[in-house]
Structure 1
Amino acid sequence: MNKIKKLLNDFNELVMFKHSIFSLPFIFIAMIVASVETNNSAWFGFKLLVLGILAAITARNFAMGFNRYMDRDIDALNPRTINRPNVDGRVSPMAMLIFNIANALGFIVVAYFVNDLAFYLSVPILIIIGSYSYFKRFSYLAHVILGISLALAPIAGVVAVSETITLWSVLLSLGVMFWVAGFDLLYSLQDMEVDKKLGLHSIPSKFGAKNTMLISRVFHFLTVSFWLLFAINSNSGIFTYLAVLAGAIMLSYEHYLVNKDFTKIDKAFFTVNGYLGIVFFFLVLFDAIIK
């Protein structure tokens, strides 16, 4: 029993399960808005709730597990990541490979039970979210690829409910893309010197800390702009606009923290962005309920 518990803890650390907080809210935001549009109700049904959670978990497990599998040589040379389970032997390469295959197949099976369009998109989605692991080896646009990977969450949400892709879902997704890419830039400042040493491509290693922070601010300005366009195009109420305003305030605070002290990067990355998704979700939910 203790061995099983330890194995689960090691895999939990491997994929950093708690970081699901970044994508889960935006899947369900899209599902709620699509349900209001399609069914005149915020509730999209217990079946889609369960399938949505399973799809999000399996997709993210695959993305993180594949990244850890591909990056185990790089992580072994970075002091910040040297104690990860994929490096120190707690999770073997074979175990990671089996884990990745199981989650990829799980995601495809879940998509099959959602609807036809979800099933057809399942493999392309897996290819996109898996490609992030390669980009840092030849392109500093890896941050944007990571953003695109998480931006697929709202698209998946609207496809699950209405089996279509709407303009407002694309705008919401573009906001998520720039949000994630922007905070990944700040997080990557920690590895700027290591990336240079190992010949990895990242915006911090190519353009320096000052320009990286400027690019991140531009990305987050675009985030708020696209989320505002999402609110307009989805015919949302006042609480969705408040969600956009709350997002703008929290992103500003994130930049204040990092600009003031680089040691605050973890707080800016995990705490602020985690709360942003939760606050955004509950405000959009409240908006949908009172409609």
Structure 2
Amino acid sequence: MQAAGVQKVLHKTRQFSELVMFSHTLFSLPFAVISMVWAAGGWPSWHVMLWGLIALVGARNGANAFNRLADRRFDAANPRTAHRHLPRHLLGTREVGVFVAVNYAIFVFAASMLNPLCMALSPVAILLITTYSYTKRFTWLSHLYLGFVIASAPIGAWFAVTGAFAFTPFVLGTVVMLWIAGFDVIYGTQDIEFDRSHGLWSMPSFFGLTNALRMSKAMHLVMMMLLLLLYYTQQMGWLYLTGLGIAALLLMTEHGIIRPGNARMMKLASYNLNQVISMVILFCTLLDFFFI
């Protein structure tokens, strides 16, 4: 019986991990770490690192689970997403709601363990990450709003270390916003007809495939320009530039392999390559900062 109970807990844990796509933490985590290191002028204290990462995970898990709750009707109607946990009743709405509340509570508690600024801003962060779920119902700017929400990771990480506002975290946050919005537009090209028929807004459904992809490229171009700006303002070296070069090549590859009708290629373009991009930028930035 004890072994069966452990198996049940592990199974449920895996389901919730799949629900919130926990592996996608690689989108925001690397930039949060970079922000912490730059803010501290080195490795921050273990206290700040621990509670900062707990806050990030709590906020992200809560927001993603809430998004699944808010979109469950559309997910069930869309053949591409009908396999998700709520449409298939693998998880119930009540237990997902509890999961959201618990993760938001973890986020607020972790923020309170950092400093007064983080604690004061935690309700604002919850409002922002929760309202994203409804933006696709009324504006094609939903991609940028998603990026804006995820940009709170490096900005919040800076606040966690310093407890104060500064220029650098907002530039880094804008990098994240444009990067996320750019590949979210790519992801959205798979649902152009579905979005139009169900009254959902996105850049691909509003502007069409070609124009939306041009906007995505423009966002990624500005993103790279801002990362280059940080090279000067943070006085980075050649290894940081090498990371930017690799990231640029990966972004060009990403835009070159887009095939809206090919699910495997779209997953590669929208997710897999971007996970590599964030890790490349992280490792090259840290190696440059500490050893060059």
TM range (shorter): over 0.9
Question: In the alignment, does 2:40 pair up with 1:2?
Answer: no
Structure with the largest fraction of helix:
1
Structure 2 residue 188 is matched with structure 1 residue 153: no
Is the 8 Å Cα contact of residues 167 and 233 (structure 1) preserved in structure 2? no
Match of 2:57 in 1: 57
Distance 1:18 1:116 in 2: 30
Which consecutive residues of structure 1, in runs of 5 or more, have no partner in the other structure?
Answer: 37-41
Deviation at 1:240, TM superposition (A): 2.2
Equivalent-residue separation in structure 1 for 2:206 and 2:181 (angstroms): 16
Q: Cα 1:250–1:95, aligned 2, differ >3 Å: closer, same or farther? A: same
Q: Are the equivalent residues in 2 in contact too, given 1:54–1:110 (CA < 8 A)?
A: yes
State the shift of 1:261 in Å. 7.7
Which of 20, 25, 32 is matched with 1:27 structurally? 32
Matches within 5 A, 1:240-255: 240-255=240-255
**Could you tell me which amino acid in structure 1 is paired with residue 204 of structure 2?**
P
User: AA paired with 1:246?
Assistant: I
State how far apart, in whole Å, the 1-side matches of 2:156 and 2:219 are.
23
How many correspondences in the alignment?
286
Structure 2 distance, partners of 1:246, 1:162, is 31
Give ranges in structure 2 of 5+ residues lacking alignment.
1-5
Residues 116-138 of structure 1: per-residue CA shift (max 9 Å, x gap): 11111111111111111010011
Residue pair 1:27, 1:157 contacting (<8 A) in 2 also = yes
Shift of 1:48: 1.7
Aligned-pair CA distance for 1:262: 4.8
| CA deviation after TM superposition for structure 1 residue 247, in Å | 2.0
Report the equivalent of 1:142. 142
How far off its partner does 1:191 sit? Answer: 1.1
Shift of 1:231: 2.0
1:283, CA displacement in angstroms?
Answer: 0.9
Q: 1:121 to 1:285 in 2, by over 3 A?
A: same
How far apart are 1:238 and its partner, in Å?
A: 2.4
Match for residue 193 of structure 2? 193
- The SS at the match of 2:80 is coil
Contact 1:178 1:219 in 2 (8 A): yes
The answer to whether structure 1 residue 12 and structure 2 residue 17 are counterparts is yes
Q: CA deviation at 1:165?
A: 2.4
TM-score using structure 2 length = 0.94
1:271 equivalenced with 2:272 (yes/no): yes
Deviation (angstroms), 1:214: 0.5
Percent identity among equivalent residues?
Answer: 34
Query: In the alignment, what sits opposite 2:290?
Result: 289
Partner of 1:45: 45
CA RMSD of aligned residues (A): 1.4
Q: Distance in 1 between matches of 2:188 and 2:71?
A: 15
* Paired residues of 1:66 and 1:133 also in contact (CA < 8 A): yes
Distance 2:113 2:262 in 1: 45
Residues in 2 aligned to 1:214 and 1:163: alpha-carbon distance in whole angstroms: 38
- CA gap 1:261/1:246 in 2 versus in 1, 3 angstroms: farther
Q: Is the 8 A contact 1:59 1:107 kept in 2?
A: yes
TM-superposed deviation, 1:235: 2.2
